[in-house]
Structure 1
Amino acid sequence: MTTPTDDLVRRARTGDAEAWRALYRAHAGRLVVWLGTRPTGDAAVSADDVAAEAWLVAARRIAEFDGDDEEFAGWLFGIARRVGLNLHRRSARRGTTPTEDPPETSHHEGPEESRVAIDWARQVLQRLPPRERDVVACTEVVGLDVATTAQALGISAVAVRVARHRGLRRLRDQPDLAGVRPRP
């Protein structure tokens, strides 16, 4: 059975601009939030930059994609992960070193409380090993399900569940996070 979002993916494959706009509205915000939790290795590269490059790659490669909306999210996040890794490698080759985080210039900024919450989440997630950080960011911050997270990160669903459990346990054991609980 085809759902309206599956129809969006099909229409996007044919170049329908309105379908692309709808897919962008559905995924852009949480993609930028998730990318904001990942280090790029270059302070000059923002989450918005990585997301923009990921959308360009997705547009070029949409004909290769065969799936529904949730699979599209995993596919897009996987592209963004690889774009971020490539930017990190490029930065390492150039010999740039990260400095303090530059002020965010995101066009997705909302109320100040939202900005503070995103910054807090980024700082907390940096305490975790990379895999646990990525999994917790996908599942808890962005709200992706296990299957989509697995597809986005290129790991198995079992590895996602294990990393999520370990990451949340590590965060729960942080004394300065006492009383903060993950959502079920």
Structure 2
Amino acid sequence: MAEDELIARARDGDPDAWRELYESLTGRLLVWLKARPSGDVAAAPEDLVSQSWLVAAHSIADFRGDRDAFAGWLFGIARNHAASARRRTLRRATAPTEPIGISELLTGDGAPDLADKVAGAEWTRAVLATLPEREREVLSCTEVAGLSSQQTAVALGMTATAVRVARHRGLSRLRRTVPEVSPTPG
């Protein structure tokens, strides 16, 4: 695929090249995003366009191709952002209910379970607080949030090997110190 002079100039940071690309593609991208079935997505098409251009500006150094390929690449970025926004909206969807006061929660049938959960969360925070920051972050991701080593590595900006080592060290440290800490008062 032939390298386009406009793309090469944009890669070099030429503001006129970026302006030309932006003006030629943004309107079409916005119309395309507005025409797609959104499914009650919280992100506006204008926001998705902005996010797409930010990714394109950040990743242009890795792009190879002409204007047509750039347009396809940019639309693919926008499609991915729209899909992520849709998934995020679905995860955050809530069903409206009547507000319940904390006193009602503590006196209801589930009060012992709730008290156990609160005590367990406080105990977990207290135990993790005894660890060095790196081990605490890794164990929070892997053991508390349930992320894999690879997901934790991406989230924390580490290698998967470093995550496994920090996890091993943190769990070993906890095995030595947890008997000193009790999850129940007393």
Measured against the shorter chain, the TM-score band is: 0.3 to 0.5
More helix, by proportion: 2
